[in-house]
Amino acid sequence: SQQGEEDPQALSIQEGENATMNCSYKTSINNLQWYRQNSGRGLVHLILIRSNEREKHSGRLRVTLDTSKKSSSLLITASRAADTASYFCSTSGTYKYIFGTGTRLKVLA
């Protein structure tokens, strides 16, 4: 069963703009991870944030986690056409990982 809901479902922006995606989940977690998937391909791990962390950075990526609201956000700054992909959050809870519904990001050159 799906645990997470992501919004927006689809996002279209111009190159150079920032893209923000949100993920909400339902149960307690140990960590939350963000992945990218190019069309028809496997998943690429982007960043992991633990339940006791509130913010994490990796290059142009910034992830926040609010466990009280059971939500996380992924910010991609200065987006590039190559960032066009689907982005998923995944939560680790009771010995399994559940994925959110995903956000399809399109960055226009």
Partner 1 sequence: GAVVSQHPSRVICKSGTSVKIECRSLDFQATTMFWYRQFPKQSLMLMATSNEGSKATYEQGVEKDKFLINHASLTLSTLTVTSAHPEDSSFYICSAPPTGGIWNEQFFGPGTRLTVL
Residues that bind partner 1 (CB under 8 A): 1-2, 30-31, 33, 35, 40-43, 45, 48, 88, 90, 92, 95-102, 104
DSSP state of 41: S
Report, in Å, the least distance between residue 45 CB and partner 1.
6
Q: Which is nearer to partner 1, 19 or 46 (CB)?
A: 46
Go through 66-81 and write b for each residue having 16 or more CB atoms within 10 A of its CB, e for each that does not. Answer: eeeebbbbbebeebee
Q: How far is the C-alpha of 99 from the C-alpha of 109, rounded, in Å?
A: 29
Report, in Å, the least distance between residue 78 CB and partner 1.
25
Spatial neighbors of 14 by CB under 8 A, at least 6 apart, are 107, 108
Q: Which is nearer to partner 1, 1 or 68 (CB)?
A: 1
Q: Which is nearer to partner 1, 41 or 80 (CB)?
A: 41
Report, in Å, the least distance between residue 16 CB and partner 1.
26
